[in-house]
Amino acid sequence: MKEKHDYERARRYGMVIDLDKCTGCGACMVGCYMENNVPFKPDETNKLDSINWIRVYKLNNGKPYPETEICYLPMPCMQCDGVDLHGHSPCVSVCPAVATDYDDDTGIVSQIYTRCFGCRYCMAACPYHARKFNWWDPVWPADMKKALSPDVSPRMRGVVEKCSFCFHRYQLARNKAYFENRQNEPLGEDDYQTACAQACPTGTITFGDLNNKAHAVHQLKTSPNAFRLLERLGTNPKVYYLTAKNWVRRQGDNYLTDEEPGKLKQKR
C-alpha cells in the first residue's frame, strides 16, 4: 500500500526557467535528444508528430516593429503534482494501465514504455502537450547508433514518451551516494542535474529540489517574477518560470479581460 506522502519534507524536484535569459539557441533540446535517446525523423518540419522532451516556443508581444518583443520559452514536462498536490497529475490519473506513475520520493512523473499500450489518453489529458507518441519505429543513422546512451531504454513504435527529468541520472546519483556512504544525506544540487540545465549556455535553467533550502530553486520559485504555466487549471506544475515582462506572464496562462497576472489568488 502506498504510504501517505509528506509534500513539505519529501524531495520535490523541479525547475526554474528564467525566460529573460533564454536566447532560444536550442542547446537544451539538443542535449536532451542526446541524453535520452530521443528519436528523430529525416524531416522534422511538422512539429506535431516529432518527438522532443523539451521544446522551445517562440512568443511575441503581438506589436508591430519597432515595439516587437520576442521571448523564447523552453517547455519540458511540468511534472505536475496535480490538484491538491496528491500526485494525481492530469496524465497519471487517467492512464488505464498504470503506465505512468507519480514517484512519491521525487515528485517525478514516470513513463513505463513497456507497459504503455498506446491509447494516448494521457496525451489528451496533458494541457502542455508534453507527451509525445511514437508514430514511427525509431531509426538512427548507423553511426549515431553507437552514441546511444546505455542508461536510457529507446522506445518502440506505438507508445508515449515524455521528459523524465533525466531520472536515470537521479538513479546514478543515488548509487554513487550509496557507494560513498552518503545514502542517508539528501543529494546535493550538483549530484543530480538534468541534461538540459547543464547544456544551457546562459544559465536559464536551474534544477533542484524545490523543498530543499540548500538548492537554488527553493529560493528562486518564491520570486515575485515567478509563475507557472496554466496554473489556473490546478495542475500544480513543478516547473516555474521567471520574467519581468508582464506580456510574457500573461501568455503563460489564460485571463479574463478584467484580470491581471499575479493579482489572482494563488492556488499554490
Partner 1 sequence: MFPFCFEWVWDMPHMVFMGGLWYALSIIGAGLTFAVVKSIIDMKSHDGQNQEHH
Partner 2 sequence: MNGMPLIPAGVNRCSKRRFAFWMAAVTAVLVWGVYAMFLIWYKGLNQTRMNDAYGFALWIWADLSVIALGGGAFFSGFLTYIVGKDKLANIINFAVIIGFICYSSALLILTIDIGQPLRGWFIFWHANVHSMLTEVAFCLSCYFAVLTIEFIPLILENPRLAKKPFLNHLTHNMHGVMPIFAATGVFLSFFHQGSLGGVAGVLYGRPFAYREHVFIWPWTFFLFTWSAAACGPCFTILGIWLTEKITRKKLVKQDVIRLLAKISGWMIITYIIAKTADTLYWAFVTAPSRGFTLMDFYSSPTYNIGLLFIEIVLCGFVPGLILITRKGRENAFLLMSAVILAVMGVSLNRWVMVLQVMAVPLFSFDDWFTYMPSWQEVATTILPVAYGLIVISLAYRYLPVFPQEQELNPID
User: Residue 201, interface with partner 2 (CB under 8 A)?
Assistant: no
Residues forming contacts to partner 1 in the complex (CB under 8 A) are: 1-2, 98
Select from 7-15, 41-49, 188-196, 219-227 the region that touches partner 2 (CB under 8 A). Answer: 41-49
Residues in region 209-238 near partner 2 by CB under 8 A: 229-230, 232-235
Binding pattern for the stretch 149-178 against partner 2, x by CB under 8 A and - elsewhere: -------xxxxx------------------
- Report cis status (omega within 30 of 0) of the bond before 66: yes
| Residue of 7, 40, 72, 121 that binds partner 2 (CB under 8 A) | 121
| Residue of 42, 150, 181, 256 that binds partner 2 (CB under 8 A) | 256
- The residue (of 98 and 147) whose beta carbon lies closer to partner 1 is 98
Q: Shortest gap between Cβ of 49 and partner 2 (angstroms)?
A: 5
What is the Cα–Cα distance from 67 to 24, expressed in whole angstroms? 19
Q: How many residues does the chain have?
A: 268
Q: Shortest gap between Cβ of 231 and partner 2 (angstroms)?
A: 10
User: Residue 255, interface with partner 2 (CB under 8 A)?
Assistant: yes
- The residue (of 52 and 89) whose beta carbon lies closer to partner 1 is 89
What is the Cα–Cα distance from 146 to 144, expressed in whole angstroms? 5
User: Residue 135, interface with partner 2 (CB under 8 A)?
Assistant: yes
Q: Tell me which of partner 2, partner 1, none is bound by residue 2, counting a contact when its beta carbon lies within the kind-specific cut-off of 5 to 8 angstroms.
A: partner 1
- The residue (of 70 and 97) whose beta carbon lies closer to partner 1 is 97
User: Residue 63, interface with partner 2 (CB under 8 A)?
Assistant: no
Task: State the distance between the two ends of the chain, measured CA to CA, in whole angstroms.
Answer: 27
Which residues are near partner 2 by CB under 8 A? 46, 48-49, 57, 59, 83, 88, 90, 93-99, 115-121, 123-129, 131-137, 156-160, 229-230, 232-235, 250-256, 259
